Amino acid sequence: MQFRMIAAVAAIATALTGTASYAQEPVKIGFVLPLTGPTAGYGKDGRMGAELALVEINAAGGILGGRKLEIVYEDEKGTPQDGVAAVQKLMTQSDVKAIIAGMNSSITLAESAITKNKILHVNPGAQSDAITNQGSPWLFQVNNTSTMNSTVFHNYLIHTMKPKTIAYMGENTEFNKAVLENLKQLMEGSGTELVEIANYDGSTTDFTSIITRLKASNPDMVYVVDAYPARTAQIWKQIRQQGGFPMEAHSTGTVQASAIVPAEGAMEGVITGDIFIADGATGTMAKFIEDFRKKYDVEPNKVSLVCYEAVKVIAAAMDMAETDSDYNLISETIRGNTWSTPRGELTFDEKGRAKAPYFYIHEVTGDTVALREAFEVQ
């Protein structure tokens, strides 16, 4: 009898120890970023934002009754095939409970085909509408879509800057297609004419002939649509070598220091826009900027912000849903609630898209961007 009692007590102790051990196991989130390759600047900025969120969450006690959050990083190297390989590795070898992946639209589309109906996937940065048009119930997009951003930006170009003619150039991608289609729609009946369109492959490095062609059309404005920082710098250097254009614009959500600095002054005065700007920030945004500066001694940008927000939303939704693996419940929780972020209150629609409360028109000044005008997004 005594032996049975001791055995029973030992069994209960083991069970309790196992429960306590489980409660302390970290919740792993997989994060796919371009840590090397042509968009490695995005990877560096995004990782800093994610790490700041991680520190804050764990310092506040973690989630799900005290479990720490852990981020496992993989490199997508700026290519769809490497993005797919990174996602597959995280899902099969790293025991992650969610995937954060999405800086480039074409890569994110490839990655989301792997995660669909298998794991929670939050896309922090890629803008193409096609990503969330797939109807994946566990896929969410933190950044505005290209249509949301482009609608505000294109209206500003057409109705505030008022060029009579625009020459357009962009990489042949889903992002570029969506931006161009939006521009064409908003130009109808506006009095602004699209006089030249030049698309190029991702492998292009010499844009001299394209720029020569655009200049021959004698436009009031050149509009460049490209999301790759190194290539953006190269394009604007080559534009400057040919004398530039009266008015110059670059696609929204894509102009960061990682493009401006290597352009070595060639982007000075270029008009762009984004959901974030440090200039004039107040409230929770000002606190985010201050905390980021304190931790890294550099300025945050939009990439840092959306990666920070992606980690925060996943952690808060899992905590509220009281689960790290019931993806239907977590997804319902994300859609059914309002989330406080540095940008303000975010809500997600049925397609999983968040809408930023504000959009900012930027002008490249020195090694950064200055605020030109702010709009409240309806």
Strand, coil or helix: what is 195? strand
Per-residue pLDDT, 5:
38
Q: Measured between alpha carbons, how far is 272 from 177 in angstroms, rounded to an integer?
A: 18
Q: What percent of the chain has pLDDT over 70?
A: 94
24: pLDDT confidence band, cut at 50, 70 and 90? confident
Do the domains 11-143+282-347 and 147-274+360-376 sit in the same CATH topology, yes or no?
Answer: yes
Per-residue pLDDT, 8:
39
4: pLDDT confidence band, cut at 50, 70 and 90? very low
Residue 3 pLDDT greater than 60, yes or no: no
CATH code for the structural domain at 147-274+360-376: 3.40.50.2300
Per-residue pLDDT, 355:
82
Residue 348 pLDDT greater than 90, yes or no: yes
pLDDT mean across residues, the chain: 92
Residue 162 pLDDT greater than 80, yes or no: yes
Q: How many CB atoms lie within 10 A of CB 355?
A: 17
Q: Which helix (H) or strand (E) holds 100?
A: strand 98-101
Per-residue pLDDT, 279:
82
Q: Measured between alpha carbons, how far is 190 from 239 in angstroms, rounded to an integer?
A: 27
Between vectors from CA 342 to CA 339 and to CA 345, what angle results, nearest 5°?
A: 35
Residue 18 pLDDT greater than 70, yes or no: no
Q: What percent of the chain has pLDDT over 90?
A: 82
Residue 19 pLDDT greater than 70, yes or no: no
Strand, coil or helix: what is 234? helix
Contact 74, 30 (CB under 8 A): yes
Per-residue pLDDT, 26:
97
23: pLDDT confidence band, cut at 50, 70 and 90? low
For the stretch 210-241, pLDDT in tens is 999 999 999 999 999 999 999 999 999 999 99
To the nearest 10°, report the CA torsion of 226, 229, 232, 238. -160
Q: Residue ranges of the domains in the chain?
A: 11-143+282-347, 147-274+360-376
CATH code for the structural domain at 11-143+282-347: 3.40.50.2300
Residue 96 pLDDT greater than 80, yes or no: yes
Beta strands (DSSP E) in 182-245 are 193-200, 221-225
Per-residue pLDDT, 308:
98
Token digits for 7? 């055995």
Higher pLDDT, 113 or 174: 113
For the stretch 318-341, pLDDT in tens is 999 999 999 999 999 999 999 999
